Amino acid sequence: MDNSSKLHVTMLPWLAMGHLIPFLELSKYLAREGHRISFISTPRNIRRLSNFSSNLSPLITLIELPLPHVHGLPENAESSMDIPANKSQYLKIAFDGLEGPIAAILEGSTPDWIIYDYASHWLPSIAARLGVPCAFYGLFTAAMLAFLGPPSVSLGGEATWSTAEDLTVSPSWVPFPSNIVFRLHEVKHSLPENISGVSDSYRFGIALRDCEIVAVRSRVEFEPEWFDLLTQFWQKPVIPIGFLPPVEDEVNSTEWVELRAWLDKRRTESVVYVALGTEARLSQEQVNELALGLELSGLPFFWVLRELPGSTKDGRNMGMLPDGFEDRTRNRGLVYKGWAPQFRILGHSAIGGILTHCGWNSVIEALRLGRALILLPVMNDQGLNARLLEEKKIGLEIPRDERDGSFTRDSVADSVRLVMVEKEGESLRSKAKEAREMFGNRDENERCLDGFVRFLEEHKRKRG
């Protein structure tokens, strides 16, 4: 293929590491195919990505745009990991302030395609004015995108979800039996107060309506009925790009040697890895019950307890862990502070399962290796992901109070033991191992990506 057929693609992800990293992985794949990438984000996020991966192609240009100052947004906050959840709308206001600078960049470069995220509802109109086609990159399950509803719902033309309880039942537009709904305690996280002037539902609606193609980070084999529903709703190509299983993350070698030494002392598939992502916040009571539940389970654990967004203190010196917990569990548990090399940890033979917040990135990383899933969703789409995984019988959700989301140490211990070691959990462990062929098969996943790239290339050829 000659160079004239190669693409220039502009990438614009939302300001969250769970979005930035998959956009970067897609960028690296396109660059390996010879396509040129302009990747736009803020200075601090660009530095984070550079630290995350030094293996960047010369075909990828990282473009820094400073966020405008917004009253209410903490200084130097450029990502959702920098702020508590109740500040997320301020970050969206700042992100919307990039509309003008991004328009100027696009006017000066005129790419062949723009691949964008849900938050930039203003981008398609800029692209249309410049005659540049757009692809929406959905970093969510097809089930979650379909749950948002057809255009008449997501764009606000049809009244729905007038109460929190409305979100706890299967929507009327889902024509088949489904348990993929929110719990009442999740609704307050999924529907934050809208002070940006634009609801998340509307952002999704515009992003889906005004693109030429919807790319979904999933596979039809995993959720066929939901892909069918999405295509019916939007009447345009909905292309699965596969799970985009991550490449090995880079990490300080000394740090990894120490962590690996701890894991090397454990039996194969005996350790439960506990990781609740970069943004999920548990209350003090929930942290206590989680800790005491891990202790009560009697099983080895590796717990990544990160600094809370908006806090200057980490989980240890805030006194979040119960008194004496680390001393009592020292011989079989490790509480690790900071950014952990999750890819390598999950890949160690000692890890048997993961207690996860159900972020789609973490689920993909775990299932690509066939790790059993203990589900503790906290915010955003995580509750819907948990229901989907339970429906597929490849995960078990820790029982919680439907209204306030509380759980007990006993429910944690019972869930961990059932998924990790008990006879009743054999089918879950087996299903997770079976999922490895779908989630972790790089050749099959790259075939999906190849189909997506062919669509982009063919569209350019037809446009001349």
Burial-class residue 249 by CB neighbours within 10 Å (0-12, 13-18, 19+): middle
Grade residue 164 by pLDDT with cuts at 50, 70 and 90.
confident
Residue 56 pLDDT > 90: no
Tokens of 122: 């203003």
Coil/strand/helix, residue 254: helix
Residue 95 near residue 15 (C-beta atoms within 8 A):
yes
Ranges in the chain annotated CATH 3.40.50.2000: 3-245+441-463, 253-439
Residue 249 pLDDT > 60: no
For the chain, the C-alpha Rg in angstroms (whole number) is 22
Class level of CATH domain 3-245+441-463? alpha beta
Q: What is the pLDDT of residues 146-162, one digit of tens each?
A: 999 988 887 875 556 67
Residue 90 near residue 70 (C-beta atoms within 8 A):
yes
Residue 179 near residue 169 (C-beta atoms within 8 A):
no
Q: Which of 301, 282, 302 is nearest to 417 (CA)?
A: 301
Q: Which of left, alpha, beta for 316 (phi over 0: left; psi -120 to 50: alpha)?
A: alpha
Residue 251 pLDDT > 70: no
Grade residue 458 by pLDDT with cuts at 50, 70 and 90.
very high
* Mean predicted lDDT score pLDDT of the chain: 90
Coil/strand/helix, residue 271: strand
Q: What's at 171, amino acid-wise?
A: P
CATH fold of the domain at 253-439:
Rossmann fold (3.40.50)
Residues, the chain: 464
CA distance 180 to 173: 13
Model confidence, pTM = 0.93
